[in-house]
Structure 1
Amino acid sequence: MGFLLLLGPLVTIHEFGHYLVGRFFGVKADAFSIGFGKELAGFTDQRGTRWKLSALPLGGYVQFKGDMNAASMPDSSVRGSASEEPFDGSFHKAELWKRALIVFAGPATNIIVAIAIFAAFAMAIGKPVIAPVVGGFSEQSVARDAGLEIGDRITALNGKPVGDFYEVVDEILPFPGRELVMSVERDGDMVTIPITAQSVIRTDQFGNEGRVGQIGVMPNSGEFVQLGPLDSVSYAASECWKITTMMVSGLGQIISGDRSVKELGGPIKIAKYSGEQLSLGLLPFIGFVALISINLAFINLLPIPGLDGGHLAFYAAEAVRRKPVGARGQDMAFRVGMALVLGLMVFVTANDILSLPVFGS
């Protein structure tokens, strides 16, 4: 249930972003599908767009006029003709900047949804604020062993200023084993303390495990500060950016081998987590929706042919070359890109299955 409430609306919103901007620029849509594969139900509107629900609910697509398939590969009849023939409602005959905006609209819509959720939380509940002051230590604390004392105010980590305890957490939690130089204020003096974050396997109430960085410091109590509409949007945008940078860091750690590829998750794991968050209540679930919405935007903006980021990469090349990439080059890139996407889907799904308790993981 949580999975359907999560992925269905997010995919629909993503594709609706493409559709609305396409409509704004006069591009005709042949099909709007939630899911892939065989059509289960649908109808055709007065503009000729086929709205349908398809068998495989792992995504969706808008097929504009001139698209050969759901990946928006151009039909052979429109290849290379964007600057040679008048615009007739075909996506591939629209001006380059319009095509780029139509493609970017999908991920942008997901980002807007996440910002709206975080901004609504900030206005309704407030922004959590905790001073970066050491209030205590855990039983095993590398910070205490390194010389940190209760009452110390953390001012910087590796030369990067911090003004809130959450900023300290953001610099430590995603980076197990990271070497840190902590600057603290103690009785009016500045003290520099080198620390190496512990690598700790943390287990949540549902039994999900994750490897995190930890130094064993506890803060004093904090407060919630009410924000107005503009400040809430600014705060929400900064939270989205923070989450995105964590995703980039996590992906970099997997590529470099600092994290296991087993930490990658797919649709089964998303379904599991969404159900767990829904069981905790509406607010935790909505927060999880925002997180997945950012994740969906991030993945789609990767420069892989077949994804939105791949199309944008082609348009960037077209802007530099002043002509589209050749048909053969596009075909090869799309084939390789789709093979990568399908291969990744198979891999993360296998990861998800092997992580189920029945397999002893």
Structure 2
Amino acid sequence: MSVLAAIAVLLVLIVVHELGHFAAARLQGIHVNRFSIGFGPVLAKYKGPETEYTLCAIPLGGFVGFPDDDPDSDITPDDPNLLRNRPIFDRAIVISAGVIANLIFAYFLLVGQVATIGIQDIQAGLVIPQVDPSSPAMTAGMQGGDVVIALNDQPLGDFPEATTIFIEKVQNSVNKPLNLTVKRDDKTLNLTVIPQENEEGQGKIGVGLLPNIKLNQAKNFIEAFTYSAEAYENLANLTVKGFWQLISNFQENAKQVAGPVKIVEYGASIAQNNAGNLFQFGALISINLAIINILPLPALDGGQLAFLLFEGLLGKPLPLKLQEGIMQTGLVLLLSLGVFLIVRDTVNLAVFQDFIQQIGL
């Protein structure tokens, strides 16, 4: 059920994106002949007065079809309501509307979570969920629920950087005292712990580590919108920084790129632990989809906007064959990347690895 919940979230985000394109076109009176969710075999379809609506078997995308290049269309090529015959600004609205829809929807997902459940706000420091018996941490007086906010008088900062700093310092401090500043309820304590050496020759103190998360619950709609705006800004900043790190240091960070299978796995894990957090998961993925689609790459919305930019600068569109060649090449590369990520992430799934071990491969 958790896997189905994660897939449902992705499907909703795809529908929202395509509805953005569809609504922007129809509200301007632009002809639309198809609205499709998914790819592959058609599971269901409905033929409206002008538009055919289809649901396909593979829910990994969708598209809004226009009759501009449909040889079987009854609409004359000079019809002013064909997308290609509209001014650049009208077409830019249609192309960018999917991205805008995802960004707006992400915000209202956060509003929904804040209003009903509350939202997780990561604070500085690390929570100690448990302390092992007879461990250096217990000897030092640490307790489950403590929040470590500083190490050797240096503030830890936020997760996940705080975790990296804490682990490295402990591992490199065998039999050396570490001064911890700990918050326990309303008190601030200074504790000294001496890491012991483990089998690998590294220091350990016998504690678990969790992010320091505060659950913000709104008392009214104004607070709900305020908390959501702050959470939205944090998610957007983290996403943009993540993309910048990927682009600026692609070789090192390429392995962290997740495909649909990995995203569903993450979502299923979230749904299994706390289904309410699917709101926040959906908001994060929605912002990611928006940023990915606005990149000026062929076969994406950003690539089509780039064509419009060239048309505006040159005073005429690029040759149709050139546009088609670029878009087809981009589509092949995009699909190839998608297939690669799906295969890679599927092979790395725990259930798949267990199966491989059982059959002796």
Question: Shorter-chain TM-score category?
Answer: 0.5 to 0.7
Compute the displacement of 1:354 (Å): 2.5
Aligned pairs for 1:109-258 within 5 A: 109-124=101-116, 132=124, 149-150=152-153, 165=157, 168-169=158-159, 224=216, 226=218, 228-252=223-247, 255=250, 257-258=251-252
Which secondary structure does the structure 2 equivalent of 1:66 belong to?
helix
Percent same amino acid at aligned positions? 29
Which secondary structure does the structure 2 equivalent of 1:29 belong to?
coil
Alignment match, 1:16: 19
> Structure 2 vs 1, CA of residues 349 and 221 (structure 1 numbering), >3 Å: closer, same or farther?
closer
Deviates more, 1:91-100 or 1:279-288: 279-288
CA deviations on 1:80-103 (whole Å, 9 max, x unpaired) are xxxxx5x53211111111111111
Letter in 2 for 1:310: G
Query: Which runs of 5 or more residues in structure 2 are unaligned?
Result: 138-149, 166-207, 357-361
Question: RMSD of the TM alignment (CA)?
Answer: 3.8
Deviates more, 1:16-25 or 1:291-300: 291-300
Which secondary structure does the structure 2 equivalent of 1:243 belong to?
helix
Which secondary structure does the structure 1 equivalent of 2:53 belong to?
strand
- Residues matched between the structures, number: 289
Deviates more, 1:217-226 or 1:36-45: 217-226
The one of 326, 339, 342 equivalent to 1:333 is: 326
Q: Within the alignment, does 1:283 sit opposite 2:298 as a pair?
A: no
Compute the displacement of 1:243 (Å): 3.1
Q: Within the alignment, does 1:105 sit opposite 2:92 as a pair?
A: no
Compute the displacement of 1:229 (Å): 4.8
Alignment match, 1:179: none
Q: Distance in 1 between matches of 2:308 and 2:89?
A: 8
> Structure 2 vs 1, CA of residues 282 and 32 (structure 1 numbering), >3 Å: closer, same or farther?
same
Compute the displacement of 1:40 (Å): 2.5
> Structure 2 vs 1, CA of residues 20 and 220 (structure 1 numbering), >3 Å: closer, same or farther?
closer
Letter in 2 for 1:101: I
What TM-score do the two structures reach when normalised by structure 2? 0.67
> Structure 2 vs 1, CA of residues 347 and 250 (structure 1 numbering), >3 Å: closer, same or farther?
farther
Which secondary structure does the structure 2 equivalent of 1:58 belong to?
strand
Compute the displacement of 1:351 (Å): 1.3
Alignment match, 1:41: 44
Alignment match, 2:56: 54
Q: Distance in 2 between matches of 1:349 and 1:280?
A: 24
Could you tell me whether the CA contact under 8 Å between 1:65 and 1:89 is conserved in 2? no
Q: Distance in 2 between matches of 1:253 and 1:274?
A: 27
Compute the displacement of 1:263 (Å): 2.5
Letter in 1 for 2:23: L
Q: Distance in 2 between matches of 1:224 and 1:58?
A: 33
Could you tell me whether the CA contact under 8 Å between 1:116 and 1:236 is conserved in 2? no
> Structure 2 vs 1, CA of residues 240 and 268 (structure 1 numbering), >3 Å: closer, same or farther?
same
> Structure 2 vs 1, CA of residues 39 and 247 (structure 1 numbering), >3 Å: closer, same or farther?
same
The one of 14, 32, 43 equivalent to 2:35 is: 32
Alignment match, 2:7: 4
Letter in 2 for 1:279: Q
Query: Which runs of 5 or more residues in structure 1 are unaligned?
Result: 70-76, 79-84, 141-146, 155-164, 176-215
Compute the displacement of 1:345 (Å): 1.0
CA deviations on 1:110-139 (whole Å, 9 max, x unpaired) are 111111122333455566667757999x99
Compute the displacement of 1:310 (Å): 0.8
Alignment match, 2:67: 65
CA deviations on 1:58-105 (whole Å, 9 max, x unpaired) are 211110231459xxxxxxx96xxxxxx5x5321111111111111111
Compute the displacement of 1:221 (Å): 8.5
Alignment match, 1:72: none
Q: Distance in 2 between matches of 1:344 and 1:2?
A: 25
Which secondary structure does the structure 2 equivalent of 1:109 belong to?
helix
Compute the displacement of 1:7 (Å): 2.0
Alignment match, 1:304: 297
Could you tell me whether the CA contact under 8 Å between 2:117 and 2:276 is conserved in 1? no
Could you tell me whether the CA contact under 8 Å between 1:265 and 1:351 is conserved in 2? no
Could you tell me whether the CA contact under 8 Å between 2:159 and 2:211 is conserved in 1? no
Compute the displacement of 1:271 (Å): 2.6
CA deviations on 1:224-274 (whole Å, 9 max, x unpaired) are 47562552353143123223223313422651x223x33222222223222
